[in-house]
Amino acid sequence: MYAAARFACSRRADRVLLAELAYDGRASYARLAAVSGLNEVTVRRRIISLRASGALYFDLDVDHRFFGYTGTALLRISVVPS
């Protein structure tokens, strides 16, 4: 996966997209197109490709109290790649 992620990020435009998303994770496709110099369709395709390669992923922190939970559990899973 890491080799694919390195390859997927080798383009300057991809690095610009990732930097903008690091700054504003809610940036619209229009905003990403403006900062990268790509059109929106290309941005959408690049985002799909970056997600598929593992170079772009989502990591969420959720306050469990918001959902009414009073306890915390941490779980780490390791699986063999298919």
Residue given tokens 């959408």 in the structure block: 44
**pTM exceeding the 0.85 threshold for the entire prediction:** no
pLDDT for the residue 75: 83
Ramachandran bin of 81, using left for φ above 0, alpha for ψ from -120 to 50, beta for the remaining angles: beta
Q: Residues for the chain: how many in total?
A: 82
CA–CA separation, 1 vs 25, rounded Å? 23
Residue 46 in tokens: 């690049």
Using one digit for the tens of pLDDT, what is the confidence trace for 16-47?
A: 999 999 999 999 999 999 999 999 999 999 99
Using one digit for the tens of pLDDT, what is the confidence trace for 68-81?
A: 888 877 888 888 87
Query: In angstroms, what CA-CA distances link 57 with 21, 49, 66?
Result: 11, 11, 24
Q: DSSP code of 39?
A: -
